[in-house]
């Protein structure tokens, strides 16, 4: 049975009465009155005997002359199928809109970001194994203390057991963050919900007129001067990178990183030649994954690389695509 939506049904009934009955009908707050199209009762305005009663649902069509009675929806279907089709179509559109609205409401209700933030505790103000693990991780990755002392540990919520890496702007306000697990899990990094967020780490602190080095992750970014992080390899093609006219990408030396680097190369972007770099610095080439933070640890370097040191390892020539195919 087709449900009744009084507002949509009223629109279609008005269209029928205005078009098929030439405006010759009466309306009050509780009914429409017009000549019955089933029995063609008296043409005298005062003796029009068909009614659509709208006081209660479902609305009812009734003729005092021939006795024909049915719901207003069925009357519309049997006598004005085109308007009935429009009624059903509008009804489905309205139902979809309501469902989408309810779905969005459910997402908002299920994910309460403020409730998660309440679990964020500054790394240096907490105690216990989780905070010890956070400090040990930061020190082992050669992250400067003046950087990680502004980070947090999530003790509960969506980001529980993770190191919260905040993204600060020039006003020292947090505009985004990512979360790195401090315990063994499948997803090492997770991010805030919403692609509309600014996912560029350190974007307020680089010189856009100079070459800007673009990394996948925040921690690798700390190895090179004038660099940013895009919070995941998949964002290497985002439009927000157009603000940097001189872009140089250093993807991780793994399968995913090579795939992204090859696509960037095909778009004419500058990408990092890991094989050439590994050979010069005599790095282990058999690793499944290698990033710039690994390099800093392996060669025991604490000073950031400059663009001048790395410039020779970048290429935008499609002839170097073989580098990313093996």
pLDDT at 106 over 70: no
What is the topology classification, in CATH, of domain 112-198? DNA primase DNAg catalytic core, N-terminal domain (3.90.980)
Furthest CA-CA distance within the chain: 103
- Helix/strand/coil for 291: coil
Model pLDDT, residue 40: 81
Q: Class of the 199-326 domain? A: alpha beta
**Can you tell me the mean pLDDT for 120-136?**
96
The pLDDT assigned to 108 comes to 47
> How far apart are alpha carbons 57 and 72 in whole angstroms?
10
pLDDT tens for each residue of 156-197:
998 999 999 999 999 999 999 999 999 988 889 988 866 567
Strand partners, 314: 272
| Residue 41 pLDDT | 80
Model confidence at 283: pLDDT above 50: yes
DSSP state of 229: E
Looking at residue 110, what is its pLDDT?
A: 54
Q: How far apart are CA 123 and CA 15, in angstroms?
A: 67
Cβ(314)–Cβ(272) below 8 Å: yes
User: Residue 137 forms beta bridges with which residues?
Assistant: none
Helical residues (DSSP H) of 141-273, grouped into ranges: 145-148, 218-221, 255-266
pTM for the full model?
Answer: 0.65
- Asked whether the predicted pLDDT for residue 311 surpasses 90, the reply is yes
Lookup: tokens for 303: 């000073």
What is d(CA 118, CA 196) in angstroms, rounded to the nearest whole number? 23
Domain segments of the chain as ranges? 6-110, 112-198, 199-326
Q: Do domains 6-110 and 112-198 have the same CATH topology?
A: no
Q: 6-110 has which fold? A: DNA Primase; Chain A (3.90.580)
Angle between helices 6-20 and 72-79 (to 10 degrees): 40
Spatial distance between the Cα atoms of 36 and 43, rounded to a whole number of angstroms: 10
Q: Does position 66 have pLDDT exceeding 60, yes or no?
A: yes
What average pLDDT does range 275-287 have in this prediction? 83
For the ranges 97-106, 165-174, 181-190, 280-289, the maximum mean pLDDT occurs at 165-174
pLDDT of 205 strictly over 90:
yes
């Amino acid at each position: 049975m087709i449900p009744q939506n009084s507002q949509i049904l009223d629109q279609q009934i008005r269209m029928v009465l205005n078009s098929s009955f030439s405006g010759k009908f009466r309306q009050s707050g509780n009914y429409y009155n017009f000549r019955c199209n089933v029995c063609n009762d008296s043409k005298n305005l005062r003796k029009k005997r068909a009614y659509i009663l709208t006081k209660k649902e479902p609305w009812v069509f009734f003729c005092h002359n021939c006795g024909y009675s049915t719901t207003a929806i069925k009357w519309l279907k049997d006598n004005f199928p085109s308007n009935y089709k429009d009624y059903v179509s509008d009804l489905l559109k309205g139902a979809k809109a309501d469902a989408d609205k309810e779905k969005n409401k459910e997402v908002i209700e299920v994910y309460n970001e403020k409730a998660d933030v309440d679990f964020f505790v500054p790394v240096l103000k907490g105690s216990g194994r989780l905070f010890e693990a956070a400090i040990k991780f930061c020190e082992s990755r050669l992250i400067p203390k003046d950087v990680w002392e502004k980070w947090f540990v999530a003790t509960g919520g969506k980001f529980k057991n993770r190191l919260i890496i905040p993204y600060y702007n020039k006003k020292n306000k947090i505009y985004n963050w990512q979360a790195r697990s401090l315990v063994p899990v499948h997803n090492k990094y997770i991010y805030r919900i919403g692609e509309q967020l600014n996912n560029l780490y350190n974007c307020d602190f680089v010189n856009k007129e100079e070459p800007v080095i673009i990394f996948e992750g925040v921690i690798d970014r700390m190895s090179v001067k004038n660099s940013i992080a895009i919070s995941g390899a998949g964002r290497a093609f985002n439009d927000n990178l157009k603000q940097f006219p001189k872009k140089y990408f250093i993807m991780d030396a793994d399968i995913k990183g090579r795939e992204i680097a090859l696509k960037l190369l095909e778009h004419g972007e500058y990408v990092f030649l890991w094989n050439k770099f590994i050979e010069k610095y005599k790095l282990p080439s058999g690793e499944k994954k290698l990033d710039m933070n690994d390099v800093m640890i392996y060669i025991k370097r604490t000073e950031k690389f400059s663009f001048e040191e790395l410039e020779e390892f970048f290429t935008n020539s499609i002839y170097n695509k073989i580098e990313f195919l093996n």
